[in-house]
Structure 1
Amino acid sequence: MPDVSGIRRLHRERFGQEPEVFMAPGRVNLIGEHTDYADGFVMPAAINFATLAAVSPAADRNATLFSRNFNESVSLSLDLIGEHGSHHWSDYPFGVLSVLQQERISVPGFHLTLDGDVPLGAGLSSSASIEVASMLAMLHVAGVELPLPKVALLCQRAENDYVGAPCGIMDQFVSCCGAADHALLLDCRSLGYRLAPIPKHLSLVICNTMVKHSHAGGEYGTRRAEVEEGTAILRRHRPEIRLLRDATVDDLKRWGHEMPPNVLKRCRHIITDSNRTVAAADALEAKDLATVGRLMAEAHASYRDDFEASCPEADIMVELANKLEGCVGARLTGGGFGGCTVNLVESNHAAQFAASISAAYEKATGIHPEIYQSRASAGAHKVGQDVVVSHR
């Protein structure tokens, strides 16, 4: 987590005011990819990489942002926020402000300082952590409290409409509602959830392939369109199918021949991965780690072969992980097309696992990876005066 005392000091130096500070974590998804916008199930965990937002009121009607990561300041009149972004980092906080304005929540002028250590473009949801931290900060200066699930929905809307990235609800929801030492099984239709314990003798080792991706368009948008095409075909036969959450593997067996081959594969991944996700939560609760590992392996194969959202580097990383001592399960996580793998590793082997996989991956690909060791962490909240030392 970034340095709390550092962001307080930076904010005081720039704006001459003592801020309140809010934290929102990134996330790693243990299982369930691209199932969220199909109203299916996902099982992410919040991680101890986060965005901090320091905020104080301004005397004028401007929203002034400073990003420590980009070393850049941006200021806009509250009357000029608009409804669409400009493909700039400020789209995330300004998008949040735009949505709050649409909700008729009167946010006065403010100064906002942002600092985060969620790796960008790695599939660990840096965007959601920025949105959630920014929204909690803006709600504070507005004097308004909202339930965290509502905050998640509004942040998702900001990313969908203002940023232009067609994400589902998972990233923002777990950033808001994650819990220490637990994964979160989320029903993306009802937003009901239950916590699945991650045994304390296991660590989350996240391996960054260093292959970057963007969700705003490109392959992510193409896959989502393919899923919608398949859903529409099934709906012709079963009108009660609103989204793939309502469809079954048997439906694909009956009517999949009407779909283009790529569309059939996309739908098969989402339906089966949603089923695997519920099974993995049950296995965690039962402390059946062998089943968790098997389901993660099946999920990666489906993501690679049916959704075709992996890449050679990620496949190599997963293959290497499964050969190392202490590895319970490994798979590509996040939106796909690069990013990170998530590995459940016995904690007493985690340090050696990290060193071994880094060396082996670099030898195989010529790319030096970044390896992050984490535990499942708490969701978004206001941060007290205590100092948190950065681990960057």
Structure 2
Amino acid sequence: MYDPAQLRSIHLSRFGDEPAIFAAPGRVNIIGEHTDYAEGFVMPAAIDFATLAAISPRADGKVVLYSENYAEQREFEASSLPAERSGHWTDYPLGVLAVLAGEGHTIPSFSLSLWGDVPLGSGLSSSAAIEVATALAVTALIDVGYPRPVLARLCQRSENEFVGSSCGIMDQFISANAAENNALLLDCRDLTFRLAPIPASVALVIANTMVQHAITGGEYTSRRAQVEEAAAVIARHRPEVRFLRDATLDDLERYGSEMSPLALKRARHVITENTRTVAAAEALIHHDLKELGRLMAEAHVSYSQDFEASCEEADAMVELAQDLPGLIGARLTGGGFGGCTVNLVEQQHAREFAAALGQRYAARTGIIPQIHICHASGGANRVQESIQAVT
């Protein structure tokens, strides 16, 4: 649960000024991993977890950032903000400010309070939620309006160029553009999308393995490099192929011997995952939940074996869900190497499913997981004063 009224009270007490409050959700990716930076397809949904940003103007030339989660405040001169990351949580809002400044906007003096309940390092995109909430708050303060796809791209740039993470566009896009009760099939090439309704009879059960990942780490970066290596090999023979979005399994048959074995495996995952993701959206649109579940299962095997971005705990979480009542499909979600699994479950069985999966996982691994029953939420927005709490 996140509580705008509580953040308003915190901000008012700390800074003495009435804030405007914005919320940006985290996300769960139902299918389509490591396809976004290959200009492919992804199918995420926003979830109930979010980051809140409370902002108010100042008159002393300072930008003051406060995190309720870290119980820490940092001050900067608005006219000379840091030009590079420091490895601190402030990198995420400062990165947004750096990109906005690069777009020609003068960064004013303000106080910004952040608070969120998106679990850090869980694969539910806490960083994108911070970026989008910050961007909405600051652009509102300076009275600048960006179309939501453009805002998402600016936030992606802040993470790529300032924070130093080579993430694709998916996380920021779904946080900014989500529609309640829908997944979103996003074409990462041109940012067009289709909504795929999630039936009211289906719950999103998110199971946190409690194994944290960091997408600024070496594993994520090496996987992306291997994907790009494979695309470059194919492009030598087919110059029109700039990204694996345009490649086929036939290309791997023809030119795979010119790639490193790891690049070949990564490419096979990305190419087949693109096909699965489009098929999964069609299955959801046509209410073919059996086919959706089959595609999710296939996607997890590919993610674990070809992309090698799973881990023992995540594989166990997926395995242990398979024979539980109500399961439609289960797979590891997010950047990989830990984090959460997403389980589509018949709503009537969701609580029983969550309890049983938690017990099984704890017995298998000795780790007590966090398991949440969620629904697909709407995208980032300004929080109305009348809203007291959102669950």
Q: Structure 1 stretch 123-132 or stretch 100-109: which is displaced more?
A: 100-109
Residue 36 of structure 1 deviates from its aligned partner by 0.1
1:20, 1:144 → 2: CA distance? 15
Q: Does 1:62 align with 2:34?
A: no
Structure 1 spans left out of the alignment, 5+ residues:
none
Partner SS for 1:387:
coil
Q: Which residue of 2 aligns with 1:84?
A: 84
Residue-by-residue CA offset, 1:170-193 (whole Å, 9 max, x unaligned): 000000000110000000000000
AA in 2 matched with 1:347: Q
Q: Which residue of 1 aligns with 2:147?
A: 147
Q: Which residue of 2 aligns with 1:5?
A: 5
Q: Structure 1 stretch 73-82 or stretch 135-144: which is displaced more?
A: 73-82
Q: Which residue of 2 aligns with 1:158?
A: 158
1:294-333 equivalent positions in 2, closer than 5 A: 294-333=294-333
Residue-by-residue CA offset, 1:66-98 (whole Å, 9 max, x unaligned): 100000001111222233210000000010001
1:388, 1:246 → 2: CA distance? 47
Count of residue pairs brought into register by the alignment: 391
Q: Is this contact kept in 1: 2:85–2:162, CA < 8 A?
A: yes
Residue-by-residue CA offset, 1:244-263 (whole Å, 9 max, x unaligned): 11111111111111111111
AA in 2 matched with 1:333: T
Partner SS for 1:167:
coil
Q: Which residue of 1 aligns with 2:184?
A: 184
1:35, 1:81 → 2: CA distance? 34
Q: Which residue of 2 aligns with 1:33?
A: 33
Q: Which residue of 1 aligns with 2:114?
A: 114
> Quick one: percent identity of the two aligned structures?
59
1:15, 1:90 → 2: CA distance? 18
Q: Which residue of 1 aligns with 2:349?
A: 349
Q: Is this contact kept in 2: 1:4–1:389, CA < 8 A?
A: yes
Q: Is this contact kept in 2: 1:83–1:161, CA < 8 A?
A: no
Q: Which residue of 2 aligns with 1:50?
A: 50
1:274, 1:138 → 2: CA distance? 35
Q: Is this contact kept in 2: 1:107–1:141, CA < 8 A?
A: no
Q: Does 1:104 align with 2:107?
A: no
Q: Is this contact kept in 1: 2:31–2:43, CA < 8 A?
A: yes
2:388, 2:294 → 1: CA distance? 37
TM-score by length of 1: 0.99
Q: Is this contact kept in 2: 1:5–1:386, CA < 8 A?
A: no
Q: Is this contact kept in 2: 1:290–1:328, CA < 8 A?
A: yes
1:80, 1:301 → 2: CA distance? 48
Q: Which residue of 2 aligns with 1:175?
A: 175
Residue-by-residue CA offset, 1:344-380 (whole Å, 9 max, x unaligned): 0001100000100000000000000000110000000
1:82, 1:100 → 2: CA distance? 13
CA RMSD of aligned residues (A): 0.9
Residue 390 of structure 1 deviates from its aligned partner by 6.2
TM-score by length of 2: 0.99
Q: Which residue of 2 aligns with 1:197?
A: 197
Partner SS for 2:278:
helix
Residue 48 of structure 1 deviates from its aligned partner by 0.7
Residue-by-residue CA offset, 1:187-235 (whole Å, 9 max, x unaligned): 0000000100011100000000000110113100010011111111000
Q: Is this contact kept in 1: 2:28–2:342, CA < 8 A?
A: yes
